[in-house]
């Protein structure tokens, strides 16, 4: 609760793919779901540091539909019931629509509230300092200010936008003079020397009523369209949401409003916008290396090396980043890691699957891992969560062989249903309806061997989705 009785709602923005941390972060498994600092994923860490200033039961998470169920599992894993806390966007439309969507959902329940908007994939090391700034921001929001947290820069970073502040307000806040796009190094150095420029953290606090009035003033068309979407029954359609403008809250509101203030902050913040920025915040060994995984480093210094499975032997490296995943090895100068975003865009244009997904893909029902793909054959390990099931489907051009490695499988093949236990197997002929379910209390592990001349997703005809809802169309 805030001083005047308004509830404060933390709104976590968990969209985006975090392409600058590729190949660990990918479109289907972005960086907010990854353990990069400590034992928790970034979204779990973001939630944990809200207490005691903000109540966890008021948390709302805006995320993409493709990440909805995995984010829910991350919340449940830290003891937070996910029901009612997740707000799904059919597609990403930047921060202004995401914040507006969350705000309108909250206003269904509350006459007014304070929203504290936080990206779900940032790192903050000074929790007492963060909590003090949160308390100050809540007080400023009560005074009808729209607060943005400005991080005091300690070096001329060219990868962040900046905010220029003038005229001190209450609570150490400054009036916002202007927002500045990412500068070159010379201009960034001049901003630090001036002393009134701050990194734009993308964190905000405001009354819903105040922000609503600013949307009415500056983005009435977006507000009207979103209100219609919210009022419509059922889930938000992709067609509706795609028509919304792709616009940030900075462009939509913050650069225009007279109610904005920047709150100077210094609480060990990083948006982990590159492998170098992650290297900068992690503890180093005596050679100033960050080594994660099975690493042997010989005559190597000032480097970041991370492996997920294989042994990595580094010899004579300096100022290098090496990141290994089951399907990709990324090697770069540490100072050039901002180029990763351009590299990922190139992979996407080339139609390379590595930009989008890992060898392990997370689905609402569980995961599947590609073990091998050669010619007209493919082998996967499928893990199905207890009581979960895959869609009822059929393939015209491929057959499948399923072997149970752990648990009990309930399998539908045509009009027949059978139960298989460990070491038992079955065959799914081409053009046969089939479904795989886990009726048990432990995860079900299946080895699947696909054989056929056409193995792509377009070969799948689905009769329902992974929750039994009829679709009767190709996926």
What is the DSSP-derived secondary structure letter of residue 436? E
Residue-by-residue DSSP string for 211-262 = HHHHHHHH-HHHHHHHHHHHHSSSSPPHHHHHTS----HIIIIITT-SSEEE
Q: What is the CATH number of domain 8-270?
A: 3.90.550.10
- Residue written as tokens 């919340």? 75
* Sheet arrangement for strand 425-428: 360-363, 366-374, 377-384, 444-452, 398-406, 425-428
Q: How far is Cα 18 from Cα 11, in angstroms, rounded to an integer?
A: 19
CB 337 within 8 A of CB 319: no
More confident residue, 293 or 167: 293
CB of 152 closer than 8 Å to CB of 173 = no
CA distances from 94 to 100, 192, 435 (A): 11, 28, 37
Gap between the Cα atoms of 87 and 10, Å rounded: 13
Do the domains 8-270 and 360-474 sit in the same CATH topology, yes or no? Answer: no
Contact 408, 419 (CB under 8 A): yes
pLDDT in tens, 70-129: 999 999 999 999 999 999 888 888 999 999 999 999 999 999 999 999 999 999 999 999
Q: Dump pLDDT digits (tens) for 220-271.
A: 999 999 998 888 766 677 888 888 999 999 999 999 999 999 999 999 999 8
> What band does 467 get if pLDDT is binned at 50, 70 and 90?
low
Strands 146-151 and 260-265: parallel
**Parallel, antiparallel or unpaired: strands 444-452 and 377-384:** antiparallel
Give the integer Cα–Cα distance in Å for 291 and 288. Answer: 10
**What integer best gives the mean pLDDT of the chain?**
90
- Separation between Cα atoms, residue 44 and residue 342, nearest integer Å: 29
Tokens linked to 86: 């997740």
3-state DSSP assignment of residue 162: strand
Sign (positive/negative) of CA torsion 34, 35, 36, 42?
positive
Q: To 10 degrees, what angle do helices 95-107 and 220-231 make?
A: 50
Q: Where are the domains of the chain?
A: 8-270, 275-339, 360-474
Is CATH 2.60.120.10 the classification given to domain 360-474? Answer: yes
Angle between helices 208-218 and 220-231 (to 10 degrees): 120
Phi, psi at residue 169, to the nearest 5°?
-110, -170
Query: Tell me: the pLDDT tens digits for 171-189?
Result: 689 999 999 988 888 888 9
Computed over its alpha carbons, how large is the radius of gyration of the chain?
25
| Nearest CA among 69, 12, 9, 13 for reference residue 362 | 69
Separation between Cα atoms, residue 373 and residue 143, nearest integer Å: 60
Pairing state between β 114-119 and 8-14: parallel
Predicted confidence (pLDDT) per residue in 30-80, tens digit: 999 999 988 899 999 999 999 999 999 999 999 988 899 999 999 999 999
Q: pLDDT-derived band of residue 343, with 50, 70 and 90 as boundaries?
A: very high
What's the predicted TM-score (pTM) here?
Answer: 0.86
Tens digit of each residue's pLDDT (9 = 90 or more) over 404-458:
999 999 999 999 999 999 999 999 999 999 999 999 999 999 999 999 876 555 5
Going by their DSSP bridges, the two strands 460-464 and 470-474 should be labelled as antiparallel
Residue 279 is encoded by which pair of tokens? 């290297």
Query: What proportion of the chain, given as a percentage, has pLDDT over 90?
Result: 71
Q: How confident is the model at residue 4 (pLDDT cuts 50, 70, 90)?
A: low
């Amino acid at each position: 609760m805030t001083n005047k009785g308004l509830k404060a709602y933390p709104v976590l923005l968990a969209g985006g793919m975090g392409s600058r941390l590729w190949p660990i972060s990918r479109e289907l498994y972005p960086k907010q779901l990854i353990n990069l600092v400590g034992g928790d994923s970034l979204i779990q860490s973001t939630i944990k540091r809200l207490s005691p200033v903000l109540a966890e039961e008021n948390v709302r998470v805006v995320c993409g539909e493709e990440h909805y169920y995995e984010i829910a599992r991350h919340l449940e894993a830290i003891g937070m019931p996910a029901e009612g806390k997740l707000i799904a966007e059919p597609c990403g439309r930047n921060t202004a629509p995401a914040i507006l969507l969350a705000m309108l959902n909250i206003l269904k329940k509350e006459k007014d509230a304070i929203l504290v908007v936080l990206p779900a994939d940032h790192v903050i090391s000074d929790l007492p300092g963060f909590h003090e700034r949160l308390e100050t921001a809540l007080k400023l929001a009560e005074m009808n200010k729209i607060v943005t947290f400005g991080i005091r820069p300690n070096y001329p970073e060219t990868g962040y936008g900046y905010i220029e502040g003038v005229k001190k307000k209450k609570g150490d806040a400054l009036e916002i003079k202007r927002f500045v796009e990412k500068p070159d190094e010379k201009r960034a150095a001049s901003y630090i020397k001036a002393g009134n420029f701050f990194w734009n953290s993308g964190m905000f606090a405001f009354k819903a009523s105040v922000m609503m009035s600013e949307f009415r003033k500056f983005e009435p068309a977006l507000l009207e369209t979103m209100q219609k979407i919210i009022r419509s029954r059922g889930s938000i359609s992709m067609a509706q949401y795609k028509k919304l403008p792709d616009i940030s809250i900075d462009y939509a509101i913050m650069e225009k409003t007279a109610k904005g203030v920047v709150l100077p902050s210094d609480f060990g913040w990083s948006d982990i916008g590159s492998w170098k920025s992650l290297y900068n915040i992690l503890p180093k060994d005596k050679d100033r290396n960050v080594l994660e995984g099975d690493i042997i480093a010989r005559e190597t210094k000032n480097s970041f090396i991370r492996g997920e499975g294989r042994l990595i032997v580094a010899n004579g490296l300096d100022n290098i980043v090496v990141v290994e995943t089951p399907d990709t090895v990324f090697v770069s100068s540490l100072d050039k890691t901002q180029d990763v975003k351009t590299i990922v865009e190139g992979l996407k244009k080339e139609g390379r699957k590595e930009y989008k997904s890992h060898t392990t893909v997370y689905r609402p029902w569980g995961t599947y891992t590609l073990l091998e793909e050669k010619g007209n054959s493919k082998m996967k390990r499928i893990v199905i969560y207890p009581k979960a099931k895959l869609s009822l489907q059929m393939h015209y051009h491929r057959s499948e062989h399923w072997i149970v490695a752990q648990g009990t499988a309930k399998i539908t093949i045509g009009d027949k249903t059978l139960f298989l236990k460990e070491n038992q197997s079955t065959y799914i002929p081409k053009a046969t309806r089939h479904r795989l379910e886990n009726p048990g209390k432990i995860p079900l592990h299946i080895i699947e061997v696909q054989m056929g001349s056409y193995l792509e997703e377009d070969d799948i005809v689905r009769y329902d989705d992974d929750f039994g809802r009829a679709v009767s169309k190709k996926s």
